[in-house]
């Protein structure tokens, strides 16, 4: 079991958003080796069909399994909503599989006895209805209101965050009637932690913000600990791969992991099949 504990954690997303999850895992579990794949050639996932997202997710999962990952983290809400079951079935008992939806849904469902909570995410995530279903299953007293915020992920991918442009767009979404009188807000896209400060400034501490990256990192720690798979590696490896080399991804990797960067372009044999 000790040898298996030293195996890497695989993390994937459509682009830079999942780096927030990888960074949070690295901060929480610095002894873990990470292999990150950003499917930048196909971003954003939010406007893709479920069938296409599943195809992309299985191609990436196949690669991560070939690298003997002990855990695969689907660090994308849209892929978690549409591809989690397919990935879990494909992986079987070869590795643990974690999505970013269940931990966040559990966290907010347990935080409030009743009242209204909000979800912001891509069209794909919101249209799936997965957050309201999971939250209400855990806490029937909560009213869940979801809002698609399709401009946010592309905005962040282009480097527009923590500035006047991003603040204007963020505020225009948060002002929508569907998000009035909420007690908590799930940032249901792994890009959104990069604009968390702007969201917190808008609410001025009156709304609890649930950052999926931090929640997932805590969940990963607990799961690996429960399975006796926590690494004790003194020299963990950090590897980063993309399907298309983009300037925004390279800059984002440097932002989150300034000390050690290993970024390569990776294309799967067989294309998108």
Residues belonging to the active site: 76, 189
Tokens of 192: 């959104």
**Residues of 66-89 as b/e, b for ≥16 C-beta within 10 angstroms?**
eeebbbbbbbbbbbbbbbbebbbe
Tokens of 78: 């849209």
Cα dihedral sign, 169-250-11-74? positive
Do 123 and 46 form a contact (C-beta atoms < 8 A)? yes
Contacts of 205 (CB under 8 A, 6+ apart): none
- SS3 of 189-226: the string is CCCHHHHHHHHHHHHCCCCEEEEHHHHHHHHHHHHHHH
**Residues of 160-181 as b/e, b for ≥16 C-beta within 10 angstroms?**
bbeeeebbebbeebbeeeebee
């Amino acid at each position: 079991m000790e040898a298996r504990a030293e195996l890497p954690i695989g993390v994937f997303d459509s682009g830079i958003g999942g780096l927030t999850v990888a960074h949070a895992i690295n901060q929480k579990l610095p002894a873990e080796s990470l292999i990150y794949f950003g499917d930048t050639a196909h971003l954003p996932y939010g406007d893709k069909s479920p069938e296409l997202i599943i195809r992309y997710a299985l191609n990436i999962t196949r690669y991560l399994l070939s690298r003997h990952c002990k855990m695969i983290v689907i660090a994308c809400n849209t892929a978690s909503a549409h591809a989690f079951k397919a990935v879990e079935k494909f992986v079987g008992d070869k590795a643990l599989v974690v999505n970013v939806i269940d931990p966040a849904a559990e966290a907010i469902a347990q935080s409030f006895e009743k009242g209204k909570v909000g979800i912001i995410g891509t069209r794909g995530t919101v249209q799936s209805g997965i957050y309201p279903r999971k939250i209400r299953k855990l806490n029937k007293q909560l009213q869940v209101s979801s809002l698609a915020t399709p401009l946010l992920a592309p905005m962040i991918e282009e480097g527009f965050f923590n500035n006047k442009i991003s603040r204007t767009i963020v505020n225009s979404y948060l002002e929508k009637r569907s998000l009035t009188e909420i007690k908590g807000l799930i940032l249901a896209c792994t890009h959104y932690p990069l604009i968390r400060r702007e969201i917190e400034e808008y609410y001025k501490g009156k709304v609890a913000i649930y950052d999926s990256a931090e929640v997932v990192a805590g969940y990963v720690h607990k799961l690996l600990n429960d399975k006796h798979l926590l690494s004790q590696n003194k020299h963990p490896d950090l590897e980063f791969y993309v399907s298309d080399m983009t300037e925004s991804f390279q800059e984002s990797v440097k932002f989150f992991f300034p000390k050690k960067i290993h970024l390569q372009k990776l294309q799967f044999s067989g294309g998108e099949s």
